[in-house]
Amino acid sequence: MDEIYPTGVTADAVKGELTITWSDGVEAVYSFALLRNACPCAECRGGHENMTSEPTPDMFDIPEMDPRAISLKDIEAVGNYALVLHWEDGHEYGIYNWNYLRALWEKSLEYGQSA
C-alpha cells in the first residue's frame, strides 16, 4: 500500500505555523489557528455524533480565539498514524490523523486559510 505519511513536522511559534513534509514531497503549512479551529475532538465538534473524518468548510472560517488557545505547547506522535496537539490553554484532546491533516491542507488550498 502506498500511503502518504509525514516525514517531518516542525512548528514555528513565531509565525504560528506548523509545517509538515509529506512522503510525496509536499510541504504543507498550517496556521495554528486553523489547526485549533479544526480540532477533531468531540468537544470541539459539539459531540461524538458530529465527529468527522474529513475537514468541513466551516473550519476555514476562523474566529478570534484566545491567544493561548492557538499557541502550540507540544506535539505528540500517536503510534504511526496521528499527532496530538497540546495547546497552551490545556486543550489536548484532538487526534489529528494523517488523512485528516492531509485533507485539511488540501482543503486549505481550496478555501484559503486566514488567521
44 binds Zn ion (CB under 5 A): yes
| CB of 27 vs Zn ion, minimal distance in Å | 26
On whether the CB atoms of residues 101 and 6 are closer than 8 A, the answer is: yes
**In the bound complex, what is the minimum distance in angstroms from residue 87's beta carbon to Zn ion?**
9
Task: Give 28-79 as a DSSP string.
Answer: EEEEHHHHHHT--SHHHHTSGGG--SS--GGGGSPPP--TTTT-EEEEEEET
One-letter amino acid identity for 56? T
Q: Which is nearer to Zn ion, 8 or 67 (CB)?
A: 67
Report in angstroms how near the CB of residue 92 gets to Zn ion at its nearest: 8
Question: What is the greatest pairwise CA distance in the chain?
Answer: 41
Determine if 55 is a binding residue for Zn ion (CB under 5 A).
no
94 binds Zn ion (CB under 5 A): yes
Q: Is residue 42 within the footprint of Zn ion (CB under 5 A)?
A: no
Residues contributing to the site for Zn ion (CB under 5 A): 39, 41, 44, 93-94
